[in-house]
Amino acid sequence: MNAREDFLVRRKSGIGGSDIAAIMGLSPWKSPVGVYLDKLSPVVDAELPSEAAMWGIKLEDIIARHYSTKTGNKIQRINSLVVHPTNRIFIANPDRMIVRPGSIVRVSESGVMGATRGLEVKTASAYKAGEWGTEYDDDAVPTHYAAQCMWYLGVTGLDHWDVACLIGGQRYVCKTIERDDSVIDAMFDAAQRFWDGHIIKQIPPEPITSSDVVKLWPTDNGAMVAANAKTLELLARAQELRAQIAALELELDGDAKLGIGGITGSLKAFIGEASGVELAGRVLATFKKAKDSRTTDWESLFRWLSQSIVAERPDMAPMIYAAVADNTTIRTGSRRLLIKEHKQ
């Protein structure tokens, strides 16, 4: 087991900063169900990070050094989990700590020693710049990051946590999260209730999204459940909405079988052989031919080639079949909701 896999295993032993944001419904990436499955799953998810996350990791040291230069603070990287001194399920994985002059940061069972404050390093897309406010709005920090840092303050006992972020690869901001014991107490309470009520009892939290449902029950058991009043109401509303959508699509695109041209058909006829329609120099719609595309049916081509080769060289058949097996990937089917049409 490498260092990252070891860290991922130890992270399952408690609630961390990104976990609490999900538990409290503040995370844009993870739900309480995701935290539940992550803690109880025996599988260590050590898959490679996304490209954006990879660049974030590569830029961490550069951003941290820039922070140190701008603030004059000496920083030290922390390569271990920090555990709350009195509650072992409250854990933190801070990026770096600010070192007290003439000291070094030490992490022990009794907490963190030698640090004056913490530092979290982030990167953000230019599209997320608004979440970090403007130069006149020093307090703006994305809620899930603020929750993460507040959690770290609770676990470590420190009073301030800086967040250094590079936005769009060119705008650097540094914000400070100050300790708020009332918020920390609420977080600790939510984390303890989640751990006791879901992790210990192995009872999943209520699913919030369709993705949560599929994660909890990836396959069906073949049985049917009896509909209740609420289910019948939802099914009726779904059919009503589908009928409205079908009517709108018919109005928009028409139906050749019914001889209905629809709005798009009328617009195409108006444009005719032109490329589009405009008003006062502003293009309102275009009607252009798409570029020709070429596709190769590789499966049929390979089948033809393999049959031709085997016809000439029967001894090659086992090798070809083995190559097919080695290069065949089975995609696990996902569950789909199909609502049957029933006339009222």
Query: At 59, which CATH number?
Result: 3.90.320.10
pLDDT of residue 261: 79
Q: Among residues of the chain, what percentage have pLDDT more than 90?
A: 53
Range picked from 6-10, 113-117, 158-162 for highest mean pLDDT:
158-162
- Mark residue 259 as left, alpha or beta (left: phi above 0; alpha: psi -120 to 50; beta: remaining): left
Q: Are 20 and 155 members of one domain?
A: yes
What residue type is 130 in one-letter code?
G
Residue 20: name the closest of 87, 75, 74, 115 by CA.
87
Q: What is the pTM of this model?
A: 0.74
Q: Are 172 and 61 members of one domain?
A: yes
- pLDDT tens sequence across 178-205: 999 999 999 999 999 999 999 999 999 9
Domain assignment of residue 302, yes or no: no
Q: Are 166 and 47 members of one domain?
A: yes
Q: Are 167 and 196 members of one domain?
A: yes
The yes-or-no verdict on residue 265 having pLDDT over 60 is yes
pLDDT of residue 324: 80
The yes-or-no verdict on residue 240 having pLDDT over 80 is yes
Residue 215: name the closest of 44, 31, 18, 50 by CA.
31
pLDDT of residue 6: 58
Q: Are 75 and 102 members of one domain?
A: yes
Q: Which residue has the higher pLDDT, 153 or 298?
A: 153
Task: Calculate the alpha carbon distances from 87 to 14, 107, 182, 186 in Å.
Answer: 10, 15, 18, 15
- pLDDT tens sequence across 271-318: 999 999 999 999 999 999 988 888 888 888 888 888 888 888 888 888
pLDDT of residue 257: 73
pLDDT of residue 12: 83
Q: Are 132 and 201 members of one domain?
A: yes
- pLDDT tens sequence across 12-21: 889 999 999 9
Domain assignment of residue 166, yes or no: yes
Domain assignment of residue 304, yes or no: no
Domain assignment of residue 224, yes or no: no
Q: Are 26 and 147 members of one domain?
A: yes
Beta bridge partners of 75: 98
pLDDT of residue 153: 96
Domain assignment of residue 294, yes or no: no
Domain count, the chain: 2
Domain assignment of residue 148, yes or no: yes
Half-sphere exposure of 115 (CA within 13 A, CB side): 29
pLDDT of residue 45: 59
pLDDT of residue 23: 96
Out of 83-87, 257-261, 295-299, least confident range: 257-261
Q: Are 197 and 234 members of one domain?
A: no
pLDDT of residue 137: 60
The yes-or-no verdict on residue 47 having pLDDT over 60 is no
CA–CA gap between residue 42 and residue 164 (Å, rounded): 34
pLDDT of residue 158: 93
**Three-state SS across 249-310?**
HHHHHCECCCCECHHHHHHHHHHCCCCEEEECCEEEEECCCCCCCCCCCHHHHHHHHHHHHH
Q: Are 103 and 54 members of one domain?
A: yes
Biggest CA-to-CA distance, the chain? 85
Q: Are 93 and 235 members of one domain?
A: no
pLDDT band at 11 (very low <50, low <70, confident <90, very high): confident
Contact 153, 118 (CB under 8 A): yes
Structural domain for 249, as ranges: 229-272
pLDDT band at 329 (very low <50, low <70, confident <90, very high): confident
pLDDT of residue 106: 79
- 22 contact partners, CB below 8 Å, separation of at least 6: 29, 30, 31, 32, 34, 35
Domain assignment of residue 14, yes or no: yes
CA–CA gap between residue 117 and residue 178 (Å, rounded): 10
